[in-house]
A and B are shown apart, each in its own frame.
Chain A
Amino acid sequence: MKFFKRMSLVAVTSLMVASSILGTASAASDKVSGKITVNGSTALLPLTLQAAKEFQKINPKVRIAASGKGSVTGPQAVKKGIADIGACDWDASIDVPGFKAFDGQVANKVAVIPFATVTNKNVSVNNLSTDQLKGIFSGKITNWKEVGGDNADIVVITRAFGSGTRVNYQAKALAGGDITKKEKNYKEVGSSGDMKTAVATTPNSIGYIDLVYVNSDLKAINFNGVAPTTNNVINGSYKIWAYGYFMTKGQPTGATKAFIDYIQSSKFQQGSLKKLKFIPVSAMK
C-alpha cells in the first residue's frame, strides 16, 4: 500500500514537472535524494524557503539548507563549492556593472522581481523619467522643483554598492547611469528594510526598493508615465524589473536539478510564488 502511495506521489510530481511551462525535461521521476545548499540573495530567500518546504514534503530524502547574505555571495559560494545553488538578483554568468562574470556557471531563472522608485509621502511629484532619475541619482538635479515638485532639496537614499537591488536599479531605471555620493542629502542603507524605514521617515527623500516592500508608508513613483504594478510588469510597459536567478556550476544535476525544476514548475510559479508577490517567469514574454 505504502509503495503504491509513494509511486503515485512520484508520478504526480513528475507529471507536474513535465507540464511546467518552460518545458523542462522530467527529472523527478526517480526517487530524489541528497543534500542541497542554497546561498546568496536575501531578496530570493523567502521564495527558496517556501519552495524547500514544499519540495521536501514531496521528496523526504532531500535535505535543503538555505541561507541569505548578499547577492554576490551566491555565485561565489557556488564557485568555491560551498553551495549547490547560488541565489542572485542578476545574471552572474555575464558581466554587470561592478561585478565580473562567473565562468562556467549557468543562470536558471526562477522568478521576476519588480522594483519601484519610492519617495517620502510629502513629495508631490508623481512621475519621473529615466533622464530625471539619472539627474537625481548622479547629483545633477538637487531640488524637487527642477522635476516639477515643491521647492525642497532632494534627499537621495541608496543601497550600498554591491546590493543586487542597486545593480538592477542602475541597469534598468538609470539606464546604466551612476549613483554619486554627495556631501549632503545623501545616505546609504544596508537592506531593503532599512531603505523602507529611511524613506518613510525622511521628508523629501527618494529611494528604490523591491515592489513587495511598498506599502502605505511610501509613495511609489511612476516610471516614464507607467505605474509600478505587477500587471504593468507583465504587459511589458513597466521596465524596472529583473529576473531572480539560481546559479549552478554547469547544468544542474540530480537533486539540485529536481529542486530547480520544482521551483520552475507551473504549480509553484502560479501558486506559492505568486502568494509571495513575485511574478512567475512564464508571465514575461
Chain B
Amino acid sequence: MNTPVQQIVPEDRALRKPSNKFKFTRSVRVRLTNRLFKYYFLFSILALCFVLGLVIFFIGKTAFLTFGHISLSEFFLSFNWNPEEEHFGAAAFIINTISLTLLTLVMAVPISVGMAVLIAEIAPKWFKNLIRPVLDLLVGIPSIVYGYIGLTVLIPFLRKVSGENLGDGILAAALVLALMVLPTISRISDEAIVSVPKKYREAAYAMGSTRLQVIMRVILPAAGRGIIAAIIMGMTRAIGETMAVVMVIGNTAQLAKSFFSPTSVLTSNIVMQISNVEFDSTWNYALHMMAFLLLVISFILILFIRFLGRKGRNT
C-alpha cells in the first residue's frame, strides 16, 4: 500500500523551514489527496458490493417463498408450467436454457476460435488492425438490434429454407446468440493466443514444424486456459441474454423437442410474464426463483473462470 509519494513526504518535510503556522504545502496536499482518494476508492467498491448484496438478498428472499407453496421437486423436476392452473414446474425452462446455450456454443466456438487464430497468427498486420476494432464494435451492439435482425432477416430466411410456417424456436435463438457471442469469444481467445510466449513458436519452428503443427500442437494447447475462459465468458452472455431471445424463440412454456418448436428459456419466460403477474402469488415467487437460478449459474461460471486463471498462473 505504500506508494512512492508517501515515502517522499518525510524528505520533503525535512527540506522545508520549520514553521508553527499551518500551511497548505505540497506535502499536506499530497497526503490529503492520497487519503481522500483511498476513501473514495474504498467507498466505490463498498457501494458496488452493497448493491450486489442487495440484489442477491432481495431476489433470494422472494425466490425462496416459492417453496412455501410448491415442493422443491415440483419446481425443478416438473415440466408442467401452467400458472393459470397453479402448476409451476420450471424443468422445461432449465433444460431449454442448457440446450440453447450448448447449441449456441457448438455453432460459435469453432468459428470464433478459428477467427482468433487467423487474427493472432496468420493475418497480415493491416488486416489485424482492421478486424480487431470491428470485433470490438460488434461486442458493443445492443442485443435488441441483434434480435431485430433475427426477427426481420433470419426468421423469414429460416421459414424459406425449412418450409416451416413460423420459424421461431431454439435454432433461430441459437443462431442469433451465436452471432452475439462470436466477437466476445474471438477477441478474448485472440488475446490468449497473442500472449503465448514467442519462444514456444520459435522452438517449434526450429524443430521443423509446419505452421499448422505449430498452431494445433503448440499454440492452442498453450493458450487453452485463456480460450476456455473466453468460451465461458461467451456462455454467460448467452445464458443471460433476454431481449434478442424473446424476439425469436416463440415464448411458449414447453420443452424444445425440435429445432423449430416454439419454446421458452428462463430469461425469456421471466420477461414475458413478470408484467402480468400478481405481487403476492406463487407465480411471482417462481419467476424470482428463476432469476435467482440465473444468478447462481453465472456466479458459478465466473468462479470457474477465476479458478482457471489461478491454476494457470501456478503452473
Contact = CB atoms under 8 A, between A and B. Distances in A.
Interface of A: 69-73, 76, 80, 97-99, 152-153, 155, 160-163, 181, 183-190, 197, 201-205
Given A161-B83, A187-B250, A155 B275 contact: no
Chain B: number of interface residues, binned into ranges: 20 to 34
A120 to B, nearest CB: 10
B273 interface: yes
B254 A73 contact: no
Contact of A190 (B168, B251, B257, B262): B251
Contact of A186 (B155, B159, B252, B275): B252
Nearest to A185: B165
B251 A188 contact: yes
Given A181-B253, A188-B250, A71 B272 contact: no
Given A153-B165, A201-B156, A187 B272 contact: no
A161 B276 contact: yes
B62 to A, nearest CB: 15
Given A70-B275, A73-B275, A201-B151, A190 B246 contact: yes
B277 A190 contact: no
B88 interface: no
Interface string B266-294: 00000111011111000000000000000
A76 B278 contact: yes
Given A70-B276, A161-B84, A181 B261 contact: no
A interface secondary structure, majority: loop
Contacts of A70: 275-277
9 contacts: A70-B277, A72-B277, A160-B276, A161-B84, A183-B254, A184-B261, A188-B250, A201-B152, A204-B165
A72 B278 contact: yes
Given A72-B277, A181-B253, A183-B261, 14 more contacts: A71-B276, A72-B276, A76-B278, A98-B84, A152-B165, A160-B276, A161-B83, A181-B254, A185-B166, A187-B252, A189-B251, A190-B272, A201-B156, A204-B165
A202 B165 contact: yes
